[in-house]
Structures are given as structure tokens and as C-alpha cells.
């Protein structure tokens, strides 16, 4: 009897030691990964300073016209740093970006909308500036404020708009049904419910991870998504690098 008890205790001890060893190895591996990422960050910061100071020639002239609509996703904590956001928008204005969409999951930026517009010279709301969603060439920068409710919930509202059309005319007629449930009809319906902005060409994510945090799905089909790091450590050089890389991209759109 004692023998089997002892072997059970021994088995339990060795399992615990094995477990402890595995956990230590896991922490060690992640510690090494953190060091690697830290080194990469330092290299990126150095490169950004070189770009900001104009020493790297190829970043001096950007084909900014290629960037028609820029979206910026900011994670919730960063969305409270309104002054940083204004600084970022001022950099974008200096570079020549005309139309910017600001997104955060919880709608914090929507609350700071007035403050941002007051402190950014000459900026106006996107909704006030355009007609029929055509991006007019103008002097002022336009800003659009979007949150999570403009994504999935807006699609549900748009679905109700389409349902109204369906119930009024499309139920018995197959042709009518095919005309109602098309992607362009959905785009129109989204505009009707107030969530129909244009599709951004480039989306910059200011947060801990490369993740679009719920930016309206309908609008990011072919949008380039770039991770910029945390808002509090934003710098001009990496912004220029991201825009430059975007202007060099060539898309096939599936072909």
C-alpha cells in the first residue's frame, strides 16, 4: 500500500515540476520575443528620425494624390488624447492629405468632435462638405467621425430599409428582388441611414495590435491596413513612411 501511495506522490511531484518547467520556458520564450520586438521598435524610431530630418531622399516627394481618403483607427485609451490627435491631423494637413476619417470603437472621438474642429484651422465635417459623396477638391481638410455603431448596427438598419422596399414591391417578382438585393443598393441604404462614407484607401491603426477594431466592414474591402503603434509614441517619420509605402502598392483586385 505504502508503495502505491509513494509512487502517486512521486508522480504528482514530477508532474508539478514538469508544469513549472514548461511555464518557465514559456515565459522565457516570450521574454526573448519582447526583446526582439523592442529592438525592432528602436530601429523603427531611428529610421523615423532619419525620415523626419529629410536625410532619406526617397521620402522627400510623395505622390499624395494617390491617397484620396485616409482612415485612422485609434484604440480607446488613445482616443482620449485629443491634443495628440490634433497634432496628428496637423501633420497630415502639412503633408497634403485632404480627407480623413477618424474611428474609435466606443465613439469617444465623436464626443470630442467640436473641440477637434475648433482647434484645427479650417477643418470641416465631411458631411457638410460633400455633395452626393463626391470628394470635391477644396481648400479645407474634411473630417469624418465614425464609431462601432456605424458598422454592424448600420448594416442592420440598412437591411430594414431594403426590407421596406422588398415588402412593397419585390416579394412576388423575382426580377425586382434581384434589383433590390445588390451591393450598390446596400451602399445607398447605408447612406440613407447616415453611415455611408467613402471607402478609405489607407487605414492607419494607432493601438497595441494590428487589428481594425470594428471599422465598418462594408468600407474596407481593398483598404491597405498599416499598424503604427501606440498613439502616445507616434512620430512624423513613420507616418511619412506608411504613406510612402502605400503610394508604391499595386493592386490586382482579384484579377
Partner 1 sequence: MERIRERVIQIYGNLVSLLQKCIFCILSVGPIPNHIAFIMDGNRRFTKKCKLMEGAGHKIGFSALMSMLKYCYEFGVRYVTVYAFSIENFKRSPEEVQSLMDLMLEKIEEILKEQSIVNRYGVRVIFSGNLKLLSEPVRLAAERAMLATAKNSKAVLSICVAYTSTNEIMHAVQESCEEKWDEITLLNSSGAGYGLISLGGYEQDEMDHLIKLTDIEKHMYMAAAPDPDIIIRTSGETRLSNFLLWQSANCYLYLPSVLWPEIGFRQFLWAILNFQQIHFYLDKQRKQS
Does the footprint of partner 1 cover residue 78 (CB under 8 A)?
no
Positive or negative torsion for Cα 78, 81, 82, 88: negative
Reduced DSSP (H G I as helix, E B as strand, rest coil) percent helix, strand, coil of the chain, to 5: 60, 10, 30
Judged by CB under 8 A, the residue of 71, 74, 79, 186 near partner 1 is 186
Binding-site residue total for partner 1 (CB under 8 A)?
54
Does the footprint of partner 1 cover residue 151 (CB under 8 A)?
yes
Does the footprint of partner 1 cover residue 15 (CB under 8 A)?
no
| DSSP H or E run through 17 | helix 2-52
Judged by CB under 8 A, the residue of 108, 117, 135, 220 near partner 1 is 220
Give the footprint of partner 1 on residues 22-41 (CB under 8 A).
22-23, 25-26, 29-30, 33-34, 37
Distance, in Å, from the CA atom of 243 to the CA atom of 226, rounded to the nearest integer, reads: 10
Question: What is the phi/psi pair of residue 131, to 5°?
Answer: -120, 130
Neighbour-count burial for 143-180, b at 16+ CB within 10 Å, e otherwise: bbbbbbbbbeebbebbeebbeebeeeebeeeeeeeeeb
Does the footprint of partner 1 cover residue 157 (CB under 8 A)?
yes
In angstroms, what is the minimal distance from the CB of 23 to partner 1? 5
The answer to whether 58 and 251 have CB atoms below 8 angstroms apart is no
Does the footprint of partner 1 cover residue 156 (CB under 8 A)?
yes
Q: Would you give the DSSP letter of residue 75?
A: -
Judged by CB under 8 A, the residue of 166, 176, 179, 230 near partner 1 is 166
Applying CB under 8 A, the residues found at the interface with partner 1 are 22-23, 25-26, 29-30, 33-34, 37, 105-106, 148, 151-153, 155-160, 162-164, 166-167, 171, 177, 181-183, 186, 208-214, 217-218, 220-227, 249, 251, 253-255
Amino acid at each position: 500500500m505504502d508503495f502505491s501511495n509513494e509512487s502517486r506522490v512521486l508522480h504528482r511531484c514530477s508532474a508539478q515540476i514538469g508544469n513549472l518547467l514548461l511555464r518557465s520556458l514559456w515565459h522565457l520564450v516570450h521574454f526573448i520575443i519582447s526583446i526582439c520586438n523592442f529592438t525592432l521598435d528602436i530601429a523603427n524610431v531611428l529610421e523615423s528620425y532619419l525620415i523626419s530630418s529629410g536625410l532619406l531622399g526617397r521620402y522627400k516627394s510623395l505622390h499624395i494624390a494617390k491617397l484620396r481618403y485616409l482612415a485612422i483607427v485609434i484604440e480607446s485609451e488613445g482616443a482620449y488624447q485629443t491634443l495628440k490627435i490634433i497634432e496628428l491631423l496637423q501633420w497630415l494637413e502639412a503633408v497634403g492629405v485632404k480627407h480623413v476619417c477618424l474611428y474609435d470603437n466606443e465613439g469617444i472621438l465623436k464626443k470630442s468632435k467640436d473641440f477637434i474642429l475648433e482647434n484645427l484651422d479650417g477643418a470641416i465635417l465631411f458631411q457638410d462638405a460633400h455633395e452626393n459623396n463626391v470628394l470635391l477638391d477644396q481648400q479645407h481638410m474634411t473630417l469624418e467621425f465614425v464609431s462601432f455603431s456605424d458598422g454592424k448596427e448600420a448594416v442592420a438598419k440598412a437591411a430594414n430599409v431594403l426590407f421596406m422596399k422588398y415588402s412593397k414591391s419585390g416579394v412576388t417578382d423575382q426580377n425586382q428582388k434581384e434589383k433590390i438585393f445588390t451591393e450598390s443598393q446596400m451602399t445607398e441604404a447605408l447612406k440613407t441611414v447616415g453611415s455611408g462614407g467613402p471607402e478609405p484607401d489607407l487605414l492607419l491603426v494607432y493601438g497595441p495590435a494590428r487589428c481594425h477594431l470594428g471599422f465598418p466592414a462594408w468600407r474596407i474591402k481593398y483598404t491597405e491596413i498599416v499598424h503604427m503603434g501606440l498613439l502616445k509614441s507616434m512620430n512624423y517619420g513613420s507616418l511619412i513612411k506608411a504613406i510612402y509605402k502605400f503610394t508604391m502598392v499595386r493592386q490586382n483586385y482579384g484579377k
